[in-house]
Amino acid sequence: MHPLYTPRNLQVVFICLSSLVALLYAITTNHIWEDFFITFKHSKNLVEGSGLVYHPGERVHGFTSVINTLLPAFFYWITGESFLSTIWLYRIASIAALVAGGLFFLREIQKQYPENLAIPLFFTLFFAFQIKTIMFTANGQEAGFMMLFLLPSIVFAFKGFKTNWQWAGLCWAGLIYTRPDGVVYILLLTLTAIIAGQSRSKEELISIIKAGAVCTIIYLPWFIGAWLYYGSPIPHTITAKSGMGGNFTADIIYSLQTIIASVPYIGIQAAEPTYHLFGGWPYWIKVYAFISWLISSIYWLMPVNDRLGRFVSLLYTLLILYLSYLQFRGAVYPWYFPPVEIMAAFILSTAIYHISYRLVTPAIIPTYLISISVLFASTSIFFMSLTQITVQQEIIETNHRKEIGLWLNKNKQDNDSVFLEPLGYIGYYSNAKMYDWPGLVSPEVVAAEKNKKTGQYANIILTLKPTWLVLRPNTIPPLNQTTWFKKQYKVAKIFNVVEKLEPYKNLPGINYLYFDSIFVIYKKKDPE
């Protein structure tokens, strides 16, 4: 072993590299995710005395992550109502959480492979450039805190709960405070521990129950408080999205077939760029993503002496199956992927070594060649995404959607309402009553959708009669086919930044930017 290559030195490299890459992303892009403005409006209203709500006076649980709402509220309060200071303090806290969770897992890797130099090094390099994880840590989402609680939870599940049940319970509560579906992660962690870990004995099962009790005690105050304050402990965001997809109970066999058929699609999606669905990316990325998913999902079945790697692979497989179920129920959003993205980074780290060592001699040459190829792929995706999001933030968010919100703020009346889908920037800067689709902060939209008699959007507009409509061009033709729409609404303004995107037409992922490049603003006609 080289004298400079020690476990502690590698940990220092891990901290520095992961922190610097995340800060590079934040400083270069200045990316503030659309949904952060939804949660932050709750935070802002809380600090300013209007309650933990989106619309003052309307107790709607319009946010998903408790941490992602209360922590920015705290930063907003201590900085004297400064948004810029708030988002940067939250970014720093999120990056620190990401690095802390990753460091905890790295130390366990070093314990599991004490004589192995390659696997901890590979994990350090792969971890630092996972684009979805970095993006949704530095842009105002909760991925950093998800890693803070999930990665130690994986270690506790792997090693057994007998001596770690208190810490496991604490991390489980953190998972639920981070995202409501943290409960699913807890169940899958426990299932994996029973199948492939140390948790088959009676003592272990009792320890799992005790960890669950700790989790319940820590989360119960919020659960009861939310129930009393909002009338339900279930976030309204879940209620709004619950009717978007298929009905599992309608035809169980068909549903299961559909979910299983979605597994490769979801697994490949987990390793691709964040907005790959819009196209415009090199084809080799899909090949890399397929190989990443395939290795990560079958490694637990391979006859290798690697308990931790196979344990994480089984958990990864179960989580991909869960995400496939979410796809069946509606859609899988980009911020769902950081957990499986980081797991795949570790599985590839250990699989590259063990597979090449088992199949090829000498192992050192193919091991490092393959790892360099994986690192090249992940860093290439990272830096291409860095450029894409820098342009997207400048042209689409700051000088387009924000401007639409400010224009509405200037032209609206006090009692005006706005219907739209992209709620974040426009809703925050317009400061109007929002009817958003699918109804994240608007119970009225959810109610209108339940009584749907016409096409998407048309039924909501016809029922709620909002003053303003903010529509993408592709949603307008069905509305124009109705007589009532032409009679009741007129075009007030068109916001179009297509020409500003022209210099970047060859940019990888440019189609995502074109998707939000045009919005047509309609206003309800005054009664004659």
Note the pLDDT tens digit of each residue in 41-52.
Answer: 999 999 999 999
In the predicted model, what is the mean pLDDT of residues 74-79? 95
- Give the confidence band of 198 by pLDDT, cuts at 50, 70, 90: confident
pLDDT digits (tens, 9 = 90+) for 366-413: 677 788 888 899 999 999 999 999 999 999 999 999 999 999 999 999
Q: Which residue has the higher pLDDT, 241 or 204?
A: 204
pLDDT reported for residue 199: 64
Residue 473: count of CB within 10 angstroms of its CB: 12
Q: What is d(CA 467, CA 489) in angstroms, rounded to the nearest whole number?
A: 9
Q: Whole-model pTM?
A: 0.93
Fill in the amino acid letter for 290.
Answer: F
Task: Count Cβ atoms within 10 A of the Cβ of residue 492 and give its class: 0-12 exposed, 13-18 middle, 19 or more buried.
Answer: middle
Best mean pLDDT range from 184-188, 374-378, 452-456: 184-188
pLDDT at residue 353 above 70?
A: yes
Domain boundaries, the chain: 7-359, 394-524
pLDDT of residue 499: 95
- Which of 164-178, 322-336, 345-359 has the lowest average pLDDT? 345-359
Question: Residue 295: is its pLDDT beyond 60?
Answer: yes
- As a residue count, the chain comes to 528
Tell the burial category of 301 from Cβ atoms under 10 Å away from its Cβ (0-12, 13-18, 19+).
exposed
- Segment 261-285 shows an average pLDDT of 91
Q: Average of pLDDT values for 71-84?
A: 92
CA-based nearest residue to 512, from 232, 173, 280, 236 = 280
Query: What pLDDT was estimated at residue 247?
Result: 64
Q: Is the pLDDT of residue 242 over 90?
A: no
At residue 271, does pLDDT exceed 90? yes
Mean pLDDT of 201-217: 93
Percent of the chain with pLDDT over 70: 93
> What is the per-residue pLDDT across 8-33, written as a single tens digit (0 to 9) for each?
889 999 999 999 999 999 999 999 99
Contacts of 293 (CB under 8 A, 6+ apart): 264, 267, 268, 270, 271, 320, 344
What's residue 227's pLDDT? 95
Q: At what angle do helices 252-271 and 338-359 cross, to 10 degrees?
A: 80
Average pLDDT of every residue of the chain:
90
pLDDT of residue 454: 45
Number of helices followed by number of strands (H, E) in the chain: 24, 5
| Whether the predicted pLDDT of 194 surpasses 50 | yes
pLDDT for position 248: 59
pLDDT for 365: 58
Q: Tell me which residue of 349, 335, 340 sits closest to 124, measured CA to CA.
A: 349
Mean pLDDT of 330-359: 86
Query: What integer is the mean pLDDT of 67-85?
Result: 92
